[in-house]
Amino acid sequence: MTVEINLLPWREAQRQRRSKRFYFSLGLAALIGLGGGYAVTWHYEQQLVAQQQRHELIRRRTAELDRDIRTISQYEAQVEDLARRLEVFQRLQSGRPQTVHVFNALAASLEEGVHYSSLSRQGDQLRLVGVAEDNRHVSDQLRGLEDSPVFDVPVLSEVETDDGQRRFALTVGQHMPNREQQGVAP
């Protein structure tokens, strides 16, 4: 007796099972690959959005800093302007007693028979123009200015005779004496 075993249908069934399993694995791998690709794409998009938000925040903060820098520059310009003004006021304030002191010294050194017609000042140099009765009064006036502690040695620049009187012009340097010489307490 011969037993006949037909192996072909079993092999065919096994081949079909393997094919189904292969296609199922292939489909599952494709789904996992697509899902993984989508997940990676979504992750990178989220990182891109987060980076764009950071850039936008940096742009806003940079714009705020630029505004603050402009404001600070304006304040610095105002401070410099105020400092210049303060310096001018201090210079004028310190010049007030000097001017008064100079006029007092001029009045104290004025000799009999001499009259000043104009006075101009450039820095520490005074230019005086005046009229005297004769040359002796002009020289007395020069000595009076030289003896004053406020003035340096005067320099006579011109003398003219006009209607019997002497018109003269001179320049003299001025300096502020020490506070002790003025009698001013520090």
The per-residue pLDDT for 174 is: 83
The per-residue pLDDT for 178 is: 53
Buried-exposed string 50-67: b where 16+ CB fall within 10 A, e elsewhere: eeeeeeeeeeeeeeeeee
- Which pLDDT band holds residue 82 (cuts at 50, 70, 90)? very high
pLDDT at 18 over 70: yes
* Contact yes or no for 113/130 (Cβ under 8 A): no
In terms of Cβ atoms closer than 10 Å to its own Cβ (0-12, 13-18, 19+), residue 150 is buried
Looking at every residue in the chain, the average pLDDT score rounds to: 86
> How large is the C-alpha radius of gyration of the chain?
52
Q: Give φ, ψ of 172 to 5 degrees.
A: -145, 140
Condensed to tens digits (0 to 9), the pLDDT of residues 85-123 reads: 999 888 878 777 777 888 888 888 888 888 888 888 887
pLDDT at 136 over 80: yes
Q: Residue 71: CA atoms inside 13 Å, Cβ hemisphere, count?
A: 6
Q: What is the pTM of this model?
A: 0.48
Whole-number Å distance between alpha carbons of 74 and 61? 20
Condensed to tens digits (0 to 9), the pLDDT of residues 44-73 reads: 999 999 999 999 999 999 999 999 999 999
Q: Span 20-43, mean pLDDT?
A: 95
The per-residue pLDDT for 7 is: 63
Handedness of CA 152, 158, 162, 164 (dihedral sign): positive
